[in-house]
């Protein structure tokens, strides 16, 4: 009897100890995360001003200037990468959800997409360098030198797996009855997929694309030796171009306080983009796909 009660006491104590440990782990994780986030917002907000959006960088050591060229550059790079990543990704997602459901090919593609998603971004940069920057073919444009084009390709490739998997997930949430209704009215399959299923799932797919967009917006490693960086305003695809994360990287390691300030401001801009994308995705997925379609 006595032994048993001791045993049950030990069991209760262990139970409480584990609860305390789990709460402790939560506190230990959440505190630094909140602190990091709060610090970034605070530092960024106190560094942001109008000049950040309108001026290009001042020469080293001078106070002031902004990141207008980086913002424009990021815009150019992201536009190009979306042109590559969004159609291919959505197409792949349509295949996975509408045509290949349960087939070996679809499973293999889904698996490869997930694995590709885990390949380090710097490897993407190396591949884009080897593919576009290093070969010298004089009659082809964009080849043989650092360019916005090569950076955009590297980012575009990175968008494909994310867009593909979100599209699939969103299309799978569309009820079968919707497809059957369309087919029952005599609508051809391609038309049914494009203007019924895809349209029904479009809020989810658009936010999924936004999330992929926000992710690659912060990628630095694949741009280091493709887009390279440029301290002047440039929109040419054939020239090196500046991007926000590249500029943050350079300024974070520079010895000047004012460049640190600009780095924090740039970080805040990127974070706001991500907060918007992540909350939109959560909002859409929690509401369900169908309700958003009307």
Partner 1 sequence: MDQSAAKPNTAETVSPIRQYLLSRGNSALADKFFHALMVLCALSIFAIVALIAWQLVSNSQLTWHKFGFGFFYKTFVSPVTGDKLYWDPVNEQFSALPFVYGTLVSSFLSLLIAVPLGVGLAIFLTEMSPRVLRGPLAFLTELLAAIPSVIYGLWAVFVLVPLLRQYVNPVLVTTLGWTGLFSDDNPTGLGFFAGGVILSIMILPIISSLTREVMTAVPHSQREAVLALGATRWEMIRTGVLRNARIGIVGAIILGLGRALGETMAVTMVIGNTPEIHKSLLANGSSMASVIANEFTEAVSDVHRTALIEIGLALFIVTIIVNALAQLLVWAVTRGTPSRAN
Q: How many CA atoms lie within 13 A of 288 on its CB side?
A: 5
Q: Is 31 in contact with 21 (CB distance < 8 Å)?
A: no
Output the six-digit token pair for 170. 């969103």
Output the six-digit token pair for 138. 């004089």
- Candidate residues 71, 196, 277, 289; the one interacting with partner 1 per rule CB under 8 A: 277
Q: Is 273 in contact with 217 (CB distance < 8 Å)?
A: yes
Nearer to partner 1 by C-beta: 65 or 218?
218
Q: How far is CA 151 from CA 38, 57, 274, in A?
A: 31, 21, 20
Nearer to partner 1 by C-beta: 178 or 217?
217
The residue range among 60-68, 74-82, 230-238, 269-277 that interacts with partner 1, by the rule CB under 8 A, is 269-277
Nearer to partner 1 by C-beta: 30 or 63?
30
Nearer to partner 1 by C-beta: 8 or 49?
8
Q: Is 63 in contact with 54 (CB distance < 8 Å)?
A: no
- Give least dist CB 294 to partner 1, A: 22
Q: What is the CA radius of gyration of the chain?
A: 24
Q: Is 190 in contact with 99 (CB distance < 8 Å)?
A: no
What span, in angstroms and rounded, lies between the C-alpha atoms of 284 and 292?
Answer: 7
The residue range among 29-37, 45-53, 72-80, 230-238 that interacts with partner 1, by the rule CB under 8 A, is 29-37
The residue range among 64-72, 96-104, 176-184, 231-239 that interacts with partner 1, by the rule CB under 8 A, is 96-104
What span, in angstroms and rounded, lies between the C-alpha atoms of 145 and 147?
Answer: 6
Output the six-digit token pair for 24. 């402790």
φ, ψ of residue 90 in degrees (nearest 5):
-65, -40
Per-residue contact flags (x/-) with partner 1 for residues 225 to 264, judged by CB under 8 A: x--x----------------x--xx--xx------x--xx
Number of residues that bind partner 1 (CB under 8 A): 99
- Give least dist CB 221 to partner 1, A: 4
Give, as ranges, the residues between 115 and 174 that touch partner 1 (CB under 8 A).
115-124, 126-127, 129-131, 134, 157, 160-161, 164, 169
Per-residue contact flags (x/-) with partner 1 for residues 97 to 126, judged by CB under 8 A: -xxx----xx-xx-xxxxxxxxxxxxxx-x
Give, as ranges, the residues between 187 and 206 that touch partner 1 (CB under 8 A).
188-191, 193-194
Give, as ranges, the residues between 47 and 86 that touch partner 1 (CB under 8 A).
none
């Amino acid at each position: 009897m006595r032994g048993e009660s001791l045993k049950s006491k030990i069991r209760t104590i262990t139970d409480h100890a584990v609860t305390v440990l789990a709460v402790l782990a939560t506190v230990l994780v959440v505190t630094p995360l909140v602190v990091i986030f709060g610090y970034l917002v605070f530092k960024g907000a106190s560094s942001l001003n109008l000049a950040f959006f309108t001026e290009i960088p001042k020469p080293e050591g001078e106070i002031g200037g902004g990141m207008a060229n980086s913002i424009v550059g990021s815009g150019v790079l992201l536009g190009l990468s979306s042109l590559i990543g969004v159609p291919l990704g959505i197409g792949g997602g349509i295949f996975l959800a509408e045509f290949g459901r349960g087939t070996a090919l679809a499973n293999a593609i889904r698996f490869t997409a997930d694995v590709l998603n885990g390949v380090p971004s710097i490897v993407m940069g190396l591949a884009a360098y080897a593919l576009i920057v290093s070969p010298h073919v004089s009659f082809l444009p964009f080849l043989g030198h650092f360019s916005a084009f090569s950076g955009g390709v590297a980012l575009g490739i990175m968008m494909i797996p994310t867009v593909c998997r979100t599209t699939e997930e969103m299309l799978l949430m569309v009820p079968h009855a919707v497809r059957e209704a369309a087919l029952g009215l005599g609508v051809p399959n391609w038309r049914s997929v494009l203007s019924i299923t895809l349209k029904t799932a479009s809020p989810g797919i658009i936010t999924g694309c936004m999330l992929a967009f926000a992710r690659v917006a912060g990628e630095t490693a694949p741009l280091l030796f493709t887009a390279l960086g440029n301290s002047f305003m440039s929109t040419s695809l054939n020239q090196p171009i500046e991007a926000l994360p590249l500029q943050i990287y350079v300024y974070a390691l520079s010895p000047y306080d004012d460049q640190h300030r600009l780095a924090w401001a740039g970080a805040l801009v990127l974070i706001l983009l991500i907060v918007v994308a992540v909350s939109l995705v959560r909002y859409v997925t929690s509401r369900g796909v169908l309700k958003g379609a009307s």
